[in-house]
Amino acid sequence: MKVLGISGSPRRGGNTDTLIHTALEVLTAEGLQTEFLSLADHPVKPCTACGGCGKAEEPCCVTEDPAFEGMIERFMAADGILVGSPVYFGSATPETMALLDRVGYVARHHNFLRRKVGAAIVVARRAGQNFTFAQLNYFFLISEMIVPGSTYWNVAFGRQKGEVTGDTEGIETVRTLAANMAWLIKRLVD
């Protein structure tokens, strides 16, 4: 049983990274395998709407993009996908959406996200978090994924790197989410 934890922040070591690591620590303690993926290290190009993924054996036709290499395989190998994004102008980051657009469109043709567990974590300085949280959940739900909850929506607040650790309710919400994700995956995966 494995969870892929993706930080969609372009800022290494920032608040989103912290929240994803917080969740992965709980999942590891629950006995699941985890992988952390930073899109700061893998700045994938956006989908070009060529439609190649619907026709070809190749999973995606945007070639010459080393950052995308292995992404489809990572999603396929995971039982759970955790996606974290900072709020940028009321939305998820372009890095986050570039990855989700491309993997999601391939998955629509090859149907490999169905019944995996998906969860979103969002960090904001002040506002826009609810829209961004919904934006990421739209992705999971159209992909036939199953979404666990927490004691609040999975949102935490902070601006400068590390500030999010001061949001104790946000951190606790993320830890509960991770525990519920582990509980769900254990029941879905034999």
Binding site for ligand FMN (CB under 6 A): 9, 11, 14-16, 86-90, 123-128, 158-159, 161
At 143, which amino acid appears?
Answer: S
Shortest reach from residue 123's CB to ligand FMN, in Å: 5
Shortest reach from residue 4's CB to ligand FMN, in Å: 18
Q: What is the largest CA-CA distance in the chain?
A: 48
Q: Select from 93, 99, 34 the least CA-distant residue to 65.
A: 99
Tell me whether residue 13 or residue 46 sits nearer to ligand FMN (CB atom). 13
Tell me whether residue 54 or residue 162 sits nearer to ligand FMN (CB atom). 162
Residue nearest to ligand FMN (CB): 14
First-to-last C-alpha distance (Å) of the chain? 9
Shortest reach from residue 86's CB to ligand FMN, in Å: 3
Tell me whether residue 96 or residue 143 sits nearer to ligand FMN (CB atom). 96
Shortest reach from residue 187's CB to ligand FMN, in Å: 31
- Within 13 Å, how many C-alpha atoms sit on residue 72's CB side? 20
Q: How far apart are CA 54 and CA 99, in angstroms?
A: 17
Q: How far apart are CA 118 and CA 114, in angstroms?
A: 10
